[in-house]
Structure 1
Amino acid sequence: MADTYRVLVVDDDAAHRTMLNTLVGGWGYEIVDADDGEAAVDAVRAQPVDLVLMDIRMVRVSGLEALERIKTINPAIPIVLMTAYASVEMAVDALKKGAYDYLIKPLDFDKLRLTLARALEHIRLRAENRRLKHQLAGGLQAPDIVGSSPAMVRLMETVAQVAVSEATVMVTGESGTGKELVAAAIHHNSPRRDGPLVKVNCAAITDTLLESELFGHEKGAFTGADRRKEGRFVQADGGSLFLDEVGEMPVSMQVKLLRVIQERELTRVGGEETLSVDVRLVVATNRDLMKMVRAGTFREDLYYRLNVVELKTPPLRERREDIPLLATHFLARFAEKNRKVVDRFSPRAMDLLIRHPWPGNVRELMNTIERAVVLARSACLDRNDFAALEPNPGDGDPDTPPGAFAVDVPLEQIERDAIVNTLASAGGNKSEAARRLGITRKTLREKLKRYNLASTKGK
């Protein structure tokens, strides 16, 4: 092994302990042993231990009591318990007290080897996750960005370079790839980190209100304007302004945004006073803005003003090696959030996660893990916990080739199903769903209303 892990074997049966020492040591692990729970606690205090393999029933101090005491010394150590007495209640009690897993004697040696490897891989991933958060791209402050793939390392190296500048940055990439997190990393690692980071989703605000939202308005400027309102540019003064989904901005607003960028000043809606603003602009889009420029729906001069530096967030299918790290990161977050004792994936579950295409990218992975944690019935997430990711053999004829259409189904039903499924894969993001369907966001809204789907959540 490249790294030798130290395993503490605890059993008051000398013959069984000797057998385990020989077996586990033969798999490449460094072995220390103890003949009682009290001795196990002393061993953990005396030296670093990576994993504890311990019998439950021992004469002086039981494995359950030793487990609780070891967890107070080092709660990160995975503890695998063994017993000759199968008991569901005892297993549940052990898992509640922090056991990593529970094995029945006589041991299945293949299962024992797999359990030890899985537990040690789990702690390796946690350590790697912490290391990457600290070291990725030279120690950037980006705690929510996880990944060690070449694509992510290149991205974060560029973030580190542009963060210290005042350049306007355009973050591009598919929906759900973490563009907002990249924008936050740029701000929090810039000289403006002590100033505000103000975020605006251009697709979530109606065209008529977007100007007021960005630039503010005077009292009486329009119906309902009963007081003066400062816009997001003024709120972000001295800091950074993040404009998400900037490709959804109407052309009339693009002209006004261009002026503010050029002049660094603005006027509130219904006002005459000119206000100076000092804002670092970061924008994001999942659309091809150059294609929109050629189509006449996005101003070319604004495009070049915004695209001083372009950062492209890679889709998850191009960084599959990051999936175990991301999955472990989300598992820890949602287990704590939902107060669930869930701390690992089975090899079959992780294999399924790695192989899934993830059309909704990291956002889809995150939602999938949270749903699995909330519904989990054990400490280990298995393939059954991700049944929604499995190909459904009941959907149509199994001999139907990929890309074939269902027959004898009303066209409206096919269209409705396509909209529902695309919205789900886009994580509920209506702008992204419209892009994938090849229609405008307005057309999508009309179809949602037509099929009584208007209440579907999403931007």
Structure 2
Amino acid sequence: MQQNLIGQSPAFLSVLDKVSKLAAIERPVLIIGERGTGKELIAQRLHYLSARWDQPLISLNCATLSEGLIDSELFGHESGAFTGARGQHKGRFERAEGGSLFLDELATSPLLVQEKLLRVIEYGEYERVGGDKLMSANVRLICATNANLPEMASQGEFRADLLDRLAFDVIQLPPLRHRTEDILLLAEHYAIRMCREIGLEYFAGFSLSAQNALLSYHWPGNVRELKNVIERAVYQHGQQQTPIEILQFNPFEVEWHPDKQTQQQEVEQPKQPLSKLEFPIDYKTWQAEQDIELLTHAMQQAKFNQRKAAELLGLSYHQFRGMIRKYQLTNLS
């Protein structure tokens, strides 16, 4: 069953509009997006809005199989085609006949498999592994990746001719940090769903500080990461009737970790001691230099993670971002 696609930001609605138009066109489609942006959900929408909606939608993650196995899984194999092949096996193309085939993590597929995919797109035919009978394929191909395929093609790591055939049109999914209007909407959706799952009577909401934290976080894992953060916060909050205040963005981070203590100690003191100052000075210039030096040092210690750098300095994320903007330290962003 297709899951809901939730959002109201212009970037998100533009994608949905494009998907609706592409669904009716019998061409391969390429979906590009960072991890956790919902590439499989978009593939489902493409299928169920198409004329193939009542036919199979078959999926395969290309990154989960070795070269030999992905070949067999896609195109099937005949009995005795290789060691352990005791019977005929129907591949994903055969099982998706008349419908759609969704290939996730396409960039990880071997070049030999890419060559066979190209043949299916161009001629609508393929052979099972170990067989010599041509099989016809009436299948719409929907592919997805988070890799830079044009760059891979230029380096010979991905077939340029296959990329040309897949790129009839490309659906570019915006990362969550470019869908700020959707963050709180999604957060509430996942919170309410989690409350129902664990038997809480109602959702107490998020405090203003928690909302600000959600809106200012970078979300490298996008919607999938947001879902984890919200569900974790709801179950940890439990039966409390006050709004959720605490959000744990990184469950692997602990306060007593020695590296964190060392980093805090290292950023405590500016490099230039006051005893070495020669007066008169321009106070504003001196203060700006100190701030810039401290911000730069904190970012280096935090490996350029702004949220961690803010924690090292005892600042909120908003305060830290304000200082970055104040001194125009875009090279630290």
**1:396 and 2:292 equivalent?**
no
1:272 Cα offset (Å): 1.7
The question of whether the paired residues in 2 share the 8 Å contact of 1:176 and 1:364 is answered with yes
After TM superposition, the structure 1 = structure 2 runs for residues 124-203 of structure 1, keeping only pairs within 5 Å, are 143-203=3-63
The letter of the residue matching 2:214 is L
**1:207 and 2:67 equivalent?**
yes
Whose Rg is larger? Answer: 1
Between Structure 1 and Structure 2, which shows a larger proportion of strand residues?
Answer: 1
Structure 1 residue corresponding to 2:87, chosen from 219, 227, 232: 227
TM-score (norm 2): 0.75
CA distances 1:326-385 after superposition (whole Å, capped 9, x unpaired):
101111222222323351222222221111111111111011112222322225552224
The letter of the residue matching 1:352 is A
Partner of residue 118, structure 2: 258
Q: Mind listing any 5+ residue stretches in structure 2 that lack a counterpart?
A: 269-293, 309-333
The letter of the residue matching 1:220 is G
Partner of residue 384, structure 1: 246
Q: Counterpart of 2:8 in 1: which secondary structure? A: coil
Structure 2 residue corresponding to 1:351, chosen from 212, 228, 236: 212
Q: Distance in 1 between matches of 2:177 and 2:254?
A: 18
The letter of the residue matching 1:267 is E
Partner of residue 221, structure 2: 360
**1:321 and 2:181 equivalent?**
yes
Q: Counterpart of 1:301 in 2: which secondary structure? A: helix
Q: Distance in 1 between matches of 2:148 and 2:250?
A: 31
Report the CA distance shift for 1:240/1:381 in structure 2 as closer, same or farther (over 3 A): farther
CA distances 1:161-211 after superposition (whole Å, capped 9, x unpaired):
101111211000111111111111111111111011111100111112110
Q: Distance in 1 between matches of 2:40 and 2:157?
A: 24
Report the CA distance shift for 1:210/1:320 in structure 2 as closer, same or farther (over 3 A): same
**1:373 and 2:230 equivalent?**
no
Partner of residue 297, structure 1: 157
Q: Distance in 2 between matches of 1:182 and 1:387?
A: 26
Q: Distance in 2 between matches of 1:386 and 1:145?
A: 25
Report the CA distance shift for 1:361/1:385 in structure 2 as closer, same or farther (over 3 A): closer
Q: Mind listing any 5+ residue stretches in structure 1 that lack a counterpart?
A: 1-140, 407-413, 422-459
The question of whether the paired residues in 1 share the 8 Å contact of 2:229 and 2:249 is answered with no
Report the CA distance shift for 1:176/1:341 in structure 2 as closer, same or farther (over 3 A): same
Q: Distance in 1 between matches of 2:141 and 2:191?
A: 33
The question of whether the paired residues in 1 share the 8 Å contact of 2:102 and 2:141 is answered with yes
Q: Counterpart of 2:144 in 1: which secondary structure? A: strand
Partner of residue 277, structure 2: none
C-alpha RMSD over aligned residues:
2.5
TM-score (norm 1): 0.55
Q: Distance in 2 between matches of 1:242 and 1:387?
A: 31
Structure 2 residue corresponding to 1:288, chosen from 138, 148, 152: 148
Q: Counterpart of 2:190 in 1: which secondary structure? A: helix
Q: Percent identity?
A: 42
Residues matched between the structures, number: 269
